[in-house]
Amino acid sequence: MGKDVIIACDFASAQATYDFLDKFTGKKPYVKIGMELFYAEGPAIVRELKARGHKIFLDLKLHDIPNTVKKSMAVLSHLDVDMCNLHAGGTIAMMEAALEGLTRPDGTRPLLIAVTQLTSTSEERMKTDLLINEPIDKVVMHYAANAKKAGLDGVVCSPLEAGKVHDVCGKEFLTVTPGVRFAGGDVGDQSRITTPEGAKAIGSDYIVVGRPITAAADPVAAYERCVAEFVG
């Protein structure tokens, strides 16, 4: 599986997204569409970016009863995205149903990855709010193993967890990692971070990079730096 840099297009409108991507003349970066943009613009934004030649990670983090997730995944599969995701907390049955819904009649399907515990959830909150009395590391690896058992392709995780996920679930199991910053760059609200080079060394398969590219004075140069450091 080829390593790639995915740009988190955390914009509020289609126009802002097009204005940003128009800077990349001749290049078609892999992009992530999240809830904000999808809820604002609907499936049209996916179709338009696909028509423009971008690969798309649709980050909608589904979590519902298996039947609902299965039917919703079938819709996303018709949208022809390249990668989509769900919460591993929905259980193995939900993940299996999702995979079934996502698989097209010809057997092809987008990559399906699972969110384990959100990186915004601390071990303390997991214990007090969710009543999960285990070390968070153990919970993350258990959820990753569940995702693998259900037949999924990988997980979203911190780049610092990517090596351990590969140890537990195998090298082919994908790690998609946000929390990437350039050395000496603005950290913002991220905490467990590393550089593109660091993510490469730990073994991330895809890095998801937002503000270090979208807020850069020269986004194209920032993207190229990311690719050079991560893909090599």
Q: Mind telling me the catalytic residues? A: 61
Residues 161-200 that bind ligand C5P (CB under 6 A): 178-179, 188, 190
Residue 68, classified by CB atoms within 10 Å of its CB into exposed (0-12), middle (13-18) or buried (19+), is middle
Question: Which CB, 70 or 223, lies closer to ligand C5P?
Answer: 223
Measured from the CB atom, the residue of 46 and 156 that comes closer to ligand C5P is: 156
- Residue 8 interacts with ligand C5P (CB under 6 A): yes or no: yes
Taking CB under 6 A as the rule, does residue 154 contact ligand C5P?
no
Sites for ligand C5P among residues 83-142 (CB under 6 A): 118-119
Binding residue (CB under 6 A) for ligand C5P from 211, 220, 224, 225: 211
For the CB of residue 159, give the shortest distance to ligand C5P in the complex, in Å: 10
To ligand C5P, the closest distance from the beta carbon of 210 in angstroms equals 2
Are 207 and 226 in contact by the 8 Å Cβ rule? The answer is: yes
How far from 123 is each of 8, 80, 119, CA to CA, in Å? 26, 36, 10
Q: How far apart are CA 123 and CA 130, in angstroms?
A: 10
Name the amino acid, one letter, at 113: I
Burial code (b: 16+ CB inside 10 Å, e: under 16) for 142-177 equals bbbbbbbebebbbbbbbbbbbebbbeebeeebbbbb
121 vs 137: CA distance, rounded Å: 12
**Interacting residue with ligand C5P among 5, 7, 10, 72 (CB under 6 A):** 10
Q: How far apart are CA 54 and CA 32, in angstroms?
A: 10
Which of these segments, 16-24, 50-58, 147-155, 206-214, binds ligand C5P (CB under 6 A)? 206-214
Please give the residue ranges that form the binding site for ligand C5P (CB under 6 A): 8, 10, 34, 118-119, 156, 178-179, 188, 190, 208-212
